[in-house]
């Protein structure tokens, strides 16, 4: 079956522009995560959805970052007024269940590489 897909794969934005990054999780997956990965670093948690509910957004770096999953499937991560420090790979992951154990068997998309110039 299809895995997690993300679009666009690459995005170049000028400083100050708004961007929207899309994630299509695996069908039926309840949990959805967004991560930010800087070059040479591990993924850093941004936010977590259980269906359409955003249950944890503690990792969002600033109020310029906003995520939504209105129908409990596709999710969008929006970054307003992009800054150079926002340049990173943004990863989306989904998992089938929400129980503690199964939540950590996450399926990742290929990521969107954002470059802010």
Q: Which residues bind another protein (CB under 8 A)?
A: 4, 33, 35, 40-45, 48, 55-56, 58-59, 91, 93, 100-101, 103-111
DSSP assignment, residue 26? P
Q: Which is nearer to another protein, 59 or 80 (CB)?
A: 59
Provide the minimum distance between the beta carbon of 113 and another protein in the complex, in angstroms, as a whole number: 8
Provide the minimum distance between the beta carbon of 78 and another protein in the complex, in angstroms, as a whole number: 20
Helix or strand (DSSP H, E) at 102? helix 100-103
Q: Which is nearer to another protein, 13 or 103 (CB)?
A: 103
Q: Which is nearer to another protein, 16 or 99 (CB)?
A: 99
Residue 51, burial from CB neighbour count under 10 angstroms (0-12, 13-18, 19+): middle
């Amino acid at each position: 079956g299809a895995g997690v897909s993300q679009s666009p794969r690459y995005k170049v934005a000028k400083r100050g522009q708004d961007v929207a990054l899309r994630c299509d999780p695996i069908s039926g997956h309840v949990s959805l995560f967004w991560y930010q990965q800087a070059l040479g670093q591990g993924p850093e948690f941004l936010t977590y959805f259980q269906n359409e509910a955003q249950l944890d957004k503690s990792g969002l770096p600033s109020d310029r970052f906003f995520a939504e999953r209105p129908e409990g499937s596709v999710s969008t991560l929006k970054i307003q007024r992009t800054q150079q420090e926002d340049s990173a790979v943004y990863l989306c992951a989904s998992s089938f269940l929400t129980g503690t154990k199964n939540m950590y068997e996450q399926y990742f998309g290929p990521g969107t590489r954002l470059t802010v110039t």
